Amino acid sequence: MRYLVLLFIINFNNFASSELDLKLFERQSLHYLRQNDWRKSFHSLFGALHEAKKNSKDELRLKIKLAHLYFHFNKSLGDAEGYYKQALQIDPYSLSAYLGIGNIYFERKQYRQAIHYFEMAIKYHKNSYLAYSSVAMGFYELGEAERATHLYKTALQKKPDDIVSLNNLGNIALDDLNLSLAADYYEKAIEINQNFQTGHSNLANVYLYQKKYELAKKHFKRALEIYYEDASVHSNLANLYYEKRLIERAKYHLKKALYYEDHPVYHNNLAVMEKFTREYKTAGAEYGKALKRNSHYSNARKNSVFFKNRSMRIRKTLNDRQKPFQARRFVRGEWRQREHRFLEK
């Protein structure tokens, strides 16, 4: 979300208005947006829209801004879609409107419909790297990684320093366990923007796969320096410490992950670590919490029952299948999907 806010503020501030009242309302809206007061930002935008001439460029710009606000801050997808479509009635070739509607369908997981609007953006804006990157995102979610790769590379031809396409190409390579290629893409993204938090996190995951623990730890910590409240990074750093058998450090970061996001994977992994240090009662409670948050979590169900029965076989249950490494792959995938939503904007 923090990237979305930053990108939206930058785009928001680039618009200009020819009328004093419009400028005043828009400046007020931007001011409130920077203060994370999106309600007052809405109010100011509606004031500006009231002053805009019908079917003018001002009205087009303001309706797109309102759609952005509804999508990013209010999560009212129906209202956002409505304003984007009104914008298309004013300008049938609006890149922002096509990408915006595509993003709404992507958020709804209706990937074919999303691709349709992204491809319309390409039809009218063949030089837009964002359009190519966005449609690549849709094909990736449909499992067409080869096609997505081609489209991401096309986006990079349009804009060689597009860290989004570089990052997502790295994700595709990592899915295929092509670790060296994935690392190359992440490193290129970080070279372009040293504060690219997701690039540091994903590169750290590659090093963790390769058991290059010091390099992994370096990039995990850099990711936390940029954004400390990222639960997935805390969880993956905990996995690193677990593999090095630094259990207390691992527990610390898993508890941090749970503080920022109450996720069943984190409860399960914390239970594994509690069990490793023979804190059986606490481990049983954590397995129970994981099961409560996901009733289909088979590993948590098995262990929750196991602890309730107080079986003496408890020491035998800690095996490789229960290690947090498997859960880390799930968390990485979850973060990658979240990153797509940021990068498409």
The full set of domains in the chain, from first to last, is 229-345 (1.25.40.10)
User: What pLDDT does residue 133 have?
Assistant: 95
User: What pLDDT does residue 1 have?
Assistant: 42
At residue 29's C-alpha, the angle toward residues 26 and 34, to 5°, is 130
User: What pLDDT does residue 329 have?
Assistant: 32
User: What pLDDT does residue 38 have?
Assistant: 63
Residue pair 198/222 in contact (Cβ under 8 Å)? The answer is no
Q: List, in order, residues 6 or more apart from 275 with CB less than 8 Å away.
A: 283, 314, 317, 318
Q: Calculate the alpha carbon distances from 222 to 35, 196, 228, 246 in Å.
A: 26, 10, 9, 20
d(CA 161, CA 167): 11
Residue with tokens 């859960």: 327
User: What pLDDT does residue 260 have?
Assistant: 94
Summarize pLDDT for 195-249 with one digit per residue, the tens: 999 999 999 999 999 999 999 999 999 999 999 999 999 999 999 999 999 999 9
d(CA 331, CA 324): 10
pLDDT along the chain (345 residues), means of 10: 40 44 63 67 69 79 83 82 90 93 94 96 94 95 95 96 95 93 96 95 94 96 95 94 93 94 89 87 83 68 48 37 35 35 29
d(CA 51, CA 25): 9
User: What pLDDT does residue 217 have?
Assistant: 96
Q: Is 112 left (phi over 0), alpha (psi -120 to 50) or beta?
A: alpha
At residue 155's C-alpha, the angle toward residues 149 and 157, to 5°, is 105
Q: List, in order, residues 6 or more apart from 339 with CB less than 8 Å away.
A: 167, 168, 198
Whole-number percent of the chain with pLDDT over 90? 51
DSSP 312: G
* Cβ neighbour number for residue 16 with a 10 Å cutoff: 11
Q: List, in order, residues 6 or more apart from 26 with CB less than 8 Å away.
A: 15, 17, 44, 45, 48, 62
Residue with tokens 């508890």: 255
pTM (2 d.p.): 0.75
